Structure 1
Amino acid sequence: MFDLPFSYTANPSRVVFGSGTITQLPAELERLGLSKPLLLTTAQQVSQGDRLEEILGGQERVAGRFGEAVMHTPTGVTEKALAYAKDVGADCVVSIGGGSTIGLGKAISVRTGLMHICIPTTYAGSEMTPILGETENGEKKTRTDPKILPGVVIYDVDLTMTLPVSMSCTSGINAVAHAVEAIYAKAGNPIISLLAVEGIRSITSALPTLVTSPSDKDARSKALYGAWLCGVCLGSVGMAFHHKLCHTLGGSFDLPHAETHTAVLPHALAYNLPSLTPPQIRALASSLSLPDTDTATPEQIIDALNKLYDDLPVERGVQRFGMKEEEVDKAVDIAFRNQYWNPRGLEREGVREVVRRVTAGERARVDL
């Protein structure tokens, strides 16, 4: 049984999913009556911009290209991209890549009203959320607005085939984190819980296969499908402690996005598990394919996550990415500003211990 009462709002977004679907971009633009797209990439993904330009019919068929998208969507880069979009007379933006490029596309779209078409190449799930996280003056802040949600998302499994294994794993766990929080979100509901369970199960079953067989197309398809569902979950019901802590660590300490989510997930979940309801515990147990969901314990859920991490080439801590032990208290102070709702109240001693464990990269345990 699920918790009552609840409300459910579906986010309107067109999804094209399959293999080779990137070639449908011209048809999508034509359907929307658009003809002057601004193509967005990172500096490392210029070749993907080349591919889009070729598919669209050449340089004369695009308004322009902006290849300076970076992690955490700094407002300075957004202002530069906005000026360029105006100069070239773009009537829409097309972002290809991961969260950095998609974030920039969202930032431009919500400020200008231009249609945003996303072509994800990772499993981050940002493309399915009406949420924008931006960094300014060393602090990352988020806002939610239906206008932020991209209008069209083209998922092409072929674009993920060369995604490095380590990046596939951290990107996949990042998506899993979206769905885990959705299961116990304040606005949670049984529809989103179903999507969350399916999304988590799809990704966590696919990732170990990708470690041993990176070119397994079925596993790549399952991971991308799961990322889509997990993104829908985050975009529908909001965020809690996990995302607040990730935004703190990423925005204020310049830590990599997916790797930070990977390190935080088991510890933030361990902190919250004692306060979750039986239906939420059962949903988490089912998502991780535990044999008996009705009797699953918080310890078994965390143990399942720990075992998954054992099979993946991921870093459990963020110290390797530049976080220092002496910065733990500073991170806790920032995390307590403008707190997100959370099923368990944020207690400074417990939160500090979570941040310490995330920094050190310890195995998660339910003892907070």
Structure 2
Amino acid sequence: MTLHRFNGMAIPRTIISGPGCRSQIPVELERIGARRVVVVCGAGLKANTPFIDELTAALGQKLAGLFDRLEPNAPVASIKQMVDQVAPLSPDAVISIGGGVAHDVAKAIAVMVPSGRSVVDFVSRFEPPSTFHSVDVDVEPLPVFTVPSTFSAADVVGGGAVTDTQRGEKLIFVHPKLTPLAVFLDGEVIATTPRPILAASGMNAVHHCLEAFYSKGAQPITDAFAVSALRSLLRVLPAFAQSLSGPSIETCQTAIDAASMSGLTYANSWLGIGHSVCHSLGGRYGLSHGAANSVMVLHSLRFNLEAARDRLAEIARATGIASEGDTDPSRMLIAEVERLADRLGTPRTLSAIGLPAGQFARIAQDVLADPQTYWNPRPVTQTEIVAWLQSAW
């Protein structure tokens, strides 16, 4: 039998879920004795919702600084500039409210301020054919509190992604110590996010469940997260289609609970080659991570079908998509994801999200260095990746 090891470290200590739960942030800050807090958020969230004003008022004298000038895909240089401003404030906690970039930046700040080093010093890498390079975090990061406004699941995972814009490279930094201390899953926050963003990030959450389930790092505990999250996502995400009236707060709450559970899955199992492609699309071409995943989820399933057929059949049966007597549950699962994409109207091709033609060899090189590729169930060559990307374009 396979030996499994689950350390249980890459799970937030506290997850509070429910409409309006953001009101509990001051209580949790008191619980850990935080006295000087910096807030990281997107400019759009600050301008278009009441949440940032509410939060800063609730923090009162605890608010040491507010940073709302985030750039897409979290460039390393801009994070360094932010840290240069944050460090003199001597914060003892970081709060991020927004999409994936806000949470990734908060975790980068959390490790850079106490270490005095660049987040680049903490990235993981893959060296083909089979060598995985991880980096230890040898300092105690600042505690991070997160409030998600999308389904990225960056709010619960121990690490994130930043971009070296000079090299066009997306860098992945991951360690259990970087897991947020407290997470606030608030359906009222989700309800204010434009539905096209939620549809794309919802497909990203679906991609998390599937890649984590057939990842080489999958294990029974992460399987349980993936099955529960995927079952819920397939049920509620159609409500976010543009053609329908706005989803209820209850639906928004169910969706963010499921999306964040998809993050608990891959935080403890890693993912696969589909996310490696998305990292390249963001780091090298500045494309949206959610949009990239909404394209790549179906292409990933088809690319890995033979290598992961049994696992795909297992999750198809576990989520009720297929029954024990069905002859090809894995293809039934792919068809179900395709129906979801149809209902949400998410893009299907790389050209549709703005990738220029003729970039496949460069992306393939990025993919072969991305740590997620190590965990993919199907070993890959550059030639195979290029052909796959051509079919996805």
Q: TM-score, normalised by structure 1?
A: 0.91
Select 1:270's aligned residue among 275, 285, 302. Answer: 302
Structure 2 Cα separation of the partners of residues 358 and 43 of structure 1: 33
Which stretch shifts more, 210-219 or 192-201?
Answer: 210-219
How far apart are 1:294 and its partner, in Å?
Answer: 5.5
1:358 and 2:358 are equivalent in the alignment:
no
Count residues with an aligned counterpart: 354
SS in 1 for 2:7: coil
Select 2:220's aligned residue among 190, 194, 200. Answer: 190
Partner of 1:147: 177
Structure 2 Cα separation of the partners of residues 311 and 123 of structure 1: 17
User: 1 or 2 for the larger relative contact order (CA 8 Å, sep ≥6)?
Assistant: 2
Structure 2 Cα separation of the partners of residues 245 and 326 of structure 1: 15
Partner of 1:230: 262
Partner of 2:131: none
Structure 2 Cα separation of the partners of residues 298 and 100 of structure 1: 33
Partner of 1:316: 348
Partner of 1:125: 153
How far apart are 1:293 and its partner, in Å?
Answer: 4.9
Partner of 1:344: 378
Structure 1 unaligned runs (5+)?
360-368
Deviation by residue 1:271-330 (Cα, 9 ceiling, x = unmatched) = 11201262x123331366313255334332222221111111211123233211221222
How far apart are 1:266 and its partner, in Å?
Answer: 0.7
Question: Residues 70 and 101 of structure 1 are in contact (CA less than 8 Å); yes or no, is this contact kept in structure 2?
Answer: no
Deviation by residue 1:212-238 (Cα, 9 ceiling, x = unmatched) = 242322321221111121010010011
How far apart are 1:202 and its partner, in Å?
Answer: 0.8
Structure 1 Cα separation of the partners of residues 6 and 88 of structure 2: 41
SS in 2 for 1:126: coil
Equivalences for 1:188-267 in 2 at 5 Å?
188-211=218-241, 212-267=244-299
How far apart are 1:131 and its partner, in Å?
Answer: 2.6
Partner of 2:72: 71
Select 2:209's aligned residue among 168, 179, 195. Answer: 179
Question: Residues 200 and 287 of structure 1 are in contact (CA less than 8 Å); yes or no, is this contact kept in structure 2?
Answer: no
Deviation by residue 1:30-67 (Cα, 9 ceiling, x = unmatched) = 1110121101112222244222112224xx43101111
Structure 2 Cα separation of the partners of residues 108 and 5 of structure 1: 36
SS in 2 for 1:96: strand
Structure 2 unaligned runs (5+)?
115-140
Structure 2 Cα separation of the partners of residues 231 and 294 of structure 1: 31
Structure 2 Cα separation of the partners of residues 27 and 175 of structure 1: 29
Structure 2 Cα separation of the partners of residues 196 and 294 of structure 1: 23
> Identity of aligned pairs, percent?
25
* Residue identity matched to 2:65: G
SS in 2 for 1:292: coil
The 1:186/1:291 distance shift into structure 2, 3 A limit, reads: closer
1:20 and 2:50 are equivalent in the alignment:
no
SS in 2 for 1:118: strand
* Residue identity matched to 2:386: R
Question: Residues 40 and 49 of structure 1 are in contact (CA less than 8 Å); yes or no, is this contact kept in structure 2?
Answer: no
Partner of 1:39: 39
How far apart are 1:344 and its partner, in Å?
Answer: 0.9
Structure 2 Cα separation of the partners of residues 265 and 135 of structure 1: 22
Deviation by residue 1:159-213 (Cα, 9 ceiling, x = unmatched) = 1112222111111111111111110111211121111011011112101123224
Deviation by residue 1:82-132 (Cα, 9 ceiling, x = unmatched) = 111122232211100010100100101122221111111111101211132
